[in-house]
Amino acid sequence: MQKRLIGRSGLEVSALGLGCMGLSYGYGPATNKQDAINLIRAAFDKGVTFFDTAEAYGPFINEEVLGEALAPFRNEVVIATKFGFKEGNTMLGMDSRPENIRAVADASLKRLRTDVIDLFYQHRVDPAVPIEDVAGTVKDLIREGKVKHFGLSEAGVETIRKAHAVQPVAALQSEYSLWWREPEAQILPTLEELGIGFVPFSPLGKGFLTGKIDNSTTFDKTDFRTIVPRFSEENRKANQVLVDLLGKLANDRQATSAQIALAWLLAQKTWIVPIPGTTKLHRLEENIGAAAITLGEADLNEINSAFSAIPVQGDRYPAHLQKRVGN
């Protein structure tokens, strides 16, 4: 697979990474441990060198699985993980106090079976802790050799600039896809100016852009999408027109909907590295196939024109979670 540099950080990774959250958390019951390990190793065998996890995924289980899976070839991959929640539990609220950041770093190193974290993100901006203190703490961890690069997730422009002034931010991880394009207004220009890479999560719209979800789909009670307004039965029905359109565009190009959605993201900027997640080997292979698809200017114009004419229905987060993003 082709490689990409994440901004001006010097961090080189595969053009597509693997978001590992869904193997342990967020989308229903956790995947069998050995099956998860097998999938992660299959991704590496197929050229993926960028793997994304967090202490909060489980909590803790995802890091442990990833650490075991990547142990045989640790020096050939880039591992990103995250800090910022009390006790690693998203339900308990945020905690980016310097002492907690340090504690998470030490615990994550053990779970990941490594002596350094390649990319250490603040999972969500903590309004109780100045971002300068957060960046300063990660700067110290970098100086101590425990962390290589600093990242932010779902942060707003002002926070990005303040953090970057203390410790250069290598990457911002936020949602971005054909059905969530808000980052194009302010985030992408800021990242380009500062030389920060962009790592879109949910590049397939939490599965919706694959065309495998419709208004009759039922989700497991532990699936995060049960509380997402955009995934209400009514909104899924209304948004089906987007999926149908993407399916037609993909069919015209002899590709799948997921592949075109990912290829579109890759075509936006050379420093964008999407991290689609999956629990299925055939979906992994399908997603990786997107890296070989080149969309020309005419393709992009057709896709952009078609999608801009259709408004997406429903918010991407319920109100209590929306408060945690864009700060």
**Chain segment 107-164, per-residue pLDDT in tens:** 999 999 999 999 999 999 999 999 999 999 999 999 999 999 999 999 999 999 999 9
Q: Predicted confidence band at 294 (pLDDT cuts at 50, 70, 90)? A: very high
Token pair recorded at residue 282? 């055939």
Pairing between strand 50-52 and 117-122?
unpaired
Closest residue by Cα to residue 68 from 50, 47, 48, 41: 41
For residue range 226-239, list pLDDT tens digits in order.
999 999 999 999 99
Predicted local distance difference test score (pLDDT) of residue 244: 96
Q: Predicted confidence band at 241 (pLDDT cuts at 50, 70, 90)? A: very high
CA distances from 320 to 90, 181, 259 (A): 12, 21, 32
Peptide bond just before 274 cis, omega within 30 deg: no
Predicted local distance difference test score (pLDDT) of residue 164: 98
Token pair recorded at residue 111? 């779970």
Q: What is the DSSP string of 27-84?
A: BSSPPPHHHHHHHHHHHHHTT--EEE--TTTTTTHHHHHHHHHHGGGGGGSEEEEEE-
CA distance 319 to 290: 33
Average pLDDT over residues 76-84: 98
Predicted local distance difference test score (pLDDT) of residue 208: 95
Predicted local distance difference test score (pLDDT) of residue 98: 98
Q: Predicted confidence band at 169 (pLDDT cuts at 50, 70, 90)? A: very high
**Residues known to be catalytic:** 57
Q: What is the CATH number of domain 3-322?
A: 3.20.20.100
For the chain, give the mean pLDDT: 97
**Domain ranges, ordered by start, for the chain:** 3-322
CA 247 to chain centre: 23
Say what the pTM is.
0.97
Average pLDDT over residues 23-40: 97
Predicted local distance difference test score (pLDDT) of residue 10: 96
Token pair recorded at residue 27? 């989308």
Q: Predicted confidence band at 291 (pLDDT cuts at 50, 70, 90)? A: very high
Closest residue by Cα to residue 262 from 184, 176, 204, 188: 204
